[in-house]
Amino acid sequence: MSTPFECLLWLSPTTAATYPTARPTPFLWYCQLSHLGFRRSGNHYYRPQCPSCDECKSCRIRVFEINLNSKRFKRILAKSNNLQISLSPATYSAEHYELYQKYIRARHQDGDMYPPTVEQYKSFIVGAAPNSSR
C-alpha cells in the first residue's frame, strides 16, 4: 500500500511510502523489514518511495563488522570517553521523556510530533518497541 505525503527533504512536492500490512510485529519480522529499507516510527513501518527522486536513504550500521582494534575506532573512543552507554527496557522514564521533549522541540517544531506529550512518547517509544526476544 502506498500513501502520498509531503516530502521531508523538500525535493519533491509529494512523495509516497509503502507500508506493510501484516501485524503484530515479531522481532524477526522487524529485522527483515529493516534489511529491506523500512523505517519504524512508533507502530508505523514505512519505506519512502518518491516518484521523482531517490534521496531518502536508509542506513544500516553493521556493528558486528566494526574492527574495535583499528586506529580509527580507538581515536573515536578517545574523543568520546566521556559518554556512557546503557541498555534498558522500553519503559517510561521521566528522564528519557525530558530528553525526548528537548529533541522534538529542537528538531520537529514544524511537524506533527509537536508539541510533545507523554501519551505520544509512550505510544512512539515505549509501546512500539519490537519484542527483542527471539
pTM: 0.54
Residue 33: predicted pLDDT: 82
Q: What does R_g of the chain's alpha carbons equal in angstroms? A: 18
Per domain, the residue ranges of the chain are 1-69, 87-128
Q: How far is CA 71 from CA 66, 68, 83, 127, in A?
A: 12, 9, 19, 40
Whether 50 contacts 15, CB under 8 Å: yes
Q: State the Cα–Cα distance between residues 43 and 132, nearest whole angstrom.
A: 15
Q: What is the pLDDT along the chain (134 residues), one digit of tens a residue?
A: 555 656 655 555 555 566 665 555 577 887 888 888 887 776 677 777 766 777 777 777 788 888 889 999 899 989 998 988 888 888 889 999 999 999 999 988 887 778 999 998 888 777 655 654 44
Q: What is the pLDDT of residue 134?
A: 40
